[in-house]
Structure 1
Amino acid sequence: MSEQPAIRLTGLTKRFGSVAAVDHLDLEIAAGEFFSMLGPSGSGKTTVLRCIAGFEQPTSGTIELFGQDVTAKPAAAREVNTVFQDYALFPHMSVLDNVAYGLRVRGVGRTERRRRAMDALASVQLQGFADRKPAQLSGGQRQRVALARATVVQPKALLLDEPLGALDLKLRQQMQVELKQLQHELGIAFVFVTHDQDEALTLSDRIAVFNNGRIEQLGTPRELYEHPNSRFVADFVGTSNLFDLEHARSILGRDGEYSIRPEKLELHTLPGGSGSPSAAGTLVESVYAGNSIRRVVDLDAGLRISVLESNDRTHRAELDRGSRVHVTWNDDDLRRLGGSTPAAAPDDDLPTADVPRSRGVAERQDS
């Protein structure tokens, strides 16, 4: 990757009336990087993408593409292209003409634009569909046409606004693999907006987690998942059990807020004798998910937590609701949230009761 960032945002702010959709954002995205902006609806991620694309004019701040200030340039004058969730294909045009449209607007000759459009279709494994109309394609195939159309003009960066959101789960997972392969082949920066945490973790080199117009945390998928720096990130990226101040003291014997991932916990029907810290509780529910079983436990200390077991533990499958259980963990898997790591433990955070039952304690299901 080049030392010069593909995209640099400095002090980027976008206000809609009194609301700051983006609030003084500083960000650099490297050339050749698959960069995801992850966050809930209204967090500012799509507004940032639209400002980079030139569809929105920032209230203040600057946007640079490969060292050039493009803040005041219209969308057509920027060397980026955008793929949308709704594909935006022309229904009356063939697949080939849809892909070649951007080249036609740029004045590329007929022979050259056909060659380049066919190459772009080949890159998404659709060279045999050139003469079809969009209505004759599946959702996944239409999304590939949209990708081919966006990349045929050879942009320096590709912006993707939740492009897989309209696909079913299996097709979305297939397209994630194809999208990552395409990004490697093209070698350009992909800037991907999504609210799907699994999608961001699967695809990205780095992820920015957005909240209220700001970046809550920026890092690699592993950094965000293993070392969330706030309650929001721990709860939004993956599934976390969260301990508020009260439950951290009563269950963990620690001050501060903590989280721990469900797969880091173990469930036993008898008190553990290994010396690992543990808490007693009652099994509320077992959720079968094929390759795993999610156990929901109400601890005696008043906290509801989730334990994720691999489905190779077949002897666990017959546990009945209401069974008395003991949950154990390794202190190294605790993550402290929103503060420095205490001398006695690493920075980590732990489980908490789900939102409907107890304020300040949350269990989030994977989306």
Structure 2
Amino acid sequence: MTQAQPAIRLTGLTKEFGAVTAVDHVDLEIAAGEFFSMLGPSGSGKTTVLRLIAGFEQPTGGVIELFGEDVTKRAPFDRDVNTVFQDYALFPHMSVLDNVAYGLRVRGLGKKERNERARRALASVRLEQMADRKPSQLSGGQRQRVALARATVVQPKVLLLDEPLGALDLKLREQMQVELKQIQRELGITFIFVTHDQEEALTLSDRIAVFNAGRIEQLGTPAELYERPVSRFVADFVGTSNLFDPEHSLALLEREGHHSLRPEKMTVSAEVQHGDGVRNAAGTVVEAIYLGSGVRLVVDLDAGPRVSVLEQNVRGRVHDDEHGDRVVVSWHDGDVVAVDGTAVGPQNPTPTASIGAMLPGTAG
């Protein structure tokens, strides 16, 4: 998605809190009408960048542009952006309609016009029938949509969303992900979404910036980040990966350096598989985890490392069927991705899901 004038341009953006550098010279352009996510663990700098764009924090250095205008030193109310927070911050004593119309009231619009616009905003999130209710009479998903209507009714050029789905249960969160994407497409507003949930980012986004230690580790589409991570950190954080250090890469993959291989790209069988680019490694199943839609097999390879293999549940398998079995793990050379071997920063330890590098051993 290319635009001559990006909705947001960050140039050398830096934020220091005493001796701590929370944002470290970030350069970024976000296109108009884009659903853009900033993804990363706690302390990675993503929320600070959002607060800098909103004007809630002042940068130590760098420039923030909104559609070509320098807004770096402007107050939050003087920027054409709005923010939806995780707790929604609805006024409990006001009706849903009055909550949505509040921003227009502050801007001095007459009652008739602001109520008309508030009703249109509620219709855009499919809640026009709830206009007279109080927030306490709504479900969590409905309150989330009210907060979204309140933020969009003032027609901001950019909408900032600070983990707005984090307080919802899993089923409702998945439902709201779909609705949020539909609302964004209908409104055509640039959405900048902050989350630590990689599945949420993959589901919603046109592009994602993965943050680590105050910097952007990788920027790309969901498919680019997942299929071709550039570093161990991204392979670790975006999905589950089997990571191979140089020793095991050489023994198993016949490649030098660090490499990543996704669990769903591997298969487990009783026999060696054949074909161009197919590789095999014998091992022993140490755990079979039933996931409903699939089965995750943890296999100790004879060559040393422990790997995770994800198979679809197409045979109604029982989760402990393969425990202790001797198996052959197979994969295709084309699914192996070379990654930067730089270790994950101390504030972001390697997640246990990335089990490919967890068990040291001598390759054979």
Give the superposition deviation at 1:274: 4.4
Alignment of 1:290 onto 2:287: no
Aligned equivalents of 2:317, 2:98: Cα separation in 1: 58
Shift of 1:317: 6.3
Which deviates further from its counterpart, 75-84 or 2-11?
Answer: 2-11
How many pairs does the alignment contain? Answer: 348
Q: Secondary structure at the match of 2:92?
A: coil
Equivalent residue for 2:119? 118
**Aligned-residue offset at 1:188:** 1.3
Q: List runs of 5+ in structure 2 lacking aligned partners.
A: 342-352
Instruction: Output the amino acid matched with 2:247.
Output: E
Give distance in 1, aligned partners of 2:24 and 2:161: 22
Partners of 1:317 and 1:58 lie apart in 2 by: 52
User: Structure 2: which amino acid aligns with 1:189?
Assistant: T
Q: How far is 1:250 from its partner? A: 1.8
2:218 paired with 1:217: yes
Change (3 A) 1:210 1:53: same
1:335 partnered with 2:337 = yes
1:222-233 matches, cutoff 5 A:
222-233=223-234
Give the equivalent residue in structure 1 for 2:197. 196
Alignment of 1:57-76 (within 5 A): 57-76=58-77
Distance 1:188 1:148 in 2: 13
Aligned to 1:312: 314
2:209 maps to amino acid: A
Displacement of 1:100 in angstroms is 0.4
Residue type at the aligned position of 1:225: Y
Answer yes or no: is 1:98 the counterpart of 2:99: yes
Say if 1:315 and 1:90 are closer, same or farther in 2 by CA, change over 3 A. Answer: closer
Aligned pairs for 1:52-201 within 5 A: 52-201=53-202
2:16 corresponds to 1:3: no
C-alpha contact (below 8 Å) 1:298/1:304 kept by paired residues: yes
How far apart, in 1, do the equivalents of 2:292 and 2:178 lie?
Answer: 22
Aligned to 1:247: 248
CA contact (8 A) 2:7 2:66 kept: yes
Residue identity matched to 1:64: E
Q: CA–CA distance in 2 between the matches of 1:36 and 1:358?
A: 35
Distance 1:352-1:126 versus aligned 2 partners, 3 A rule: closer
Equivalent residue runs for 1:21-60 within 5 Å:
21-60=22-61
1:182 is paired with a residue of what secondary structure? Answer: helix
Deviates most, 197-206 or 274-283: 274-283
Tell me, yes or no, if structure 1 residue 281 matches structure 2 residue 289: no
Q: Report the residue type matching 2:187 in the other structure.
A: L
Q: Distance in 2 between matches of 1:202 and 1:51?
A: 25
Moved beyond 6 Å, runs of 4+:
315-318
Deviation digits for residues 138-163 of structure 1 (CA, Å, limit 9, x no counterpart): 11111000000000000000000000
State how far apart, in whole Å, the 1-side matches of 2:137 and 2:143 are: 9
1:362 corresponds in structure 2 to: none
Partner of 2:21: 20
**C-alpha distance in structure 2 between counterparts of 1:141 and 1:354, whole Å:** 41
- Alignment match, 2:326: 324
Contact 1:243/1:352 (<8 A) preserved: no
Question: Is the CA contact 2:240–2:354 (under 8 Å) kept in the aligned structure 1?
Answer: no
Write the distance in 1 (CA, Å) between the matches of 2:194 and 2:360.
Answer: 32
Distance 1:114 1:352, change over 3 A: closer
Deviation at 1:280, TM superposition (A): 0.8
Q: CA deviation at 1:248?
A: 0.7
Contact 2:22–2:45 (8 Å) recurs in 1: yes
How far apart are residue 318 of structure 1 and its match? 6.7
Change beyond 3 A, Cα 1:13–1:299: same
Is the contact between residue 11 and residue 26 of structure 1 (CA under 8 Å) also seen in structure 2?
yes
- Closer, same or farther in 2 for the Cα pair 1:353/1:128, shift >3 Å? closer
Counterpart of 2:52 in 1: which secondary structure?
A: helix
In 2: Cα distance, 1:274 partner to 1:228 partner: 26
Shift of 1:85: 0.4
Shift of 1:271: 2.8
- Equivalent residue number for residue 302 of structure 1: 304
Percent identical across equivalent pairs?
70
Offset of 1:319 from its aligned partner? Answer: 3.2
Gaps of 5+ in 1: 340-350, 360-367
Shift, 1:272, TM fit: 2.9
CA contact (8 A) 2:236 2:354 kept: no
Q: Contact 2:266/2:329 (CA < 8 Å) preserved in 1?
A: yes
Quote the residue 2:350 is aligned against: none
Structure 1 residues 188-246: Cα deviation after superposition (integer angstroms, max 9, x where no partner): 11000000000000000000000000000000000000100000001100111110111
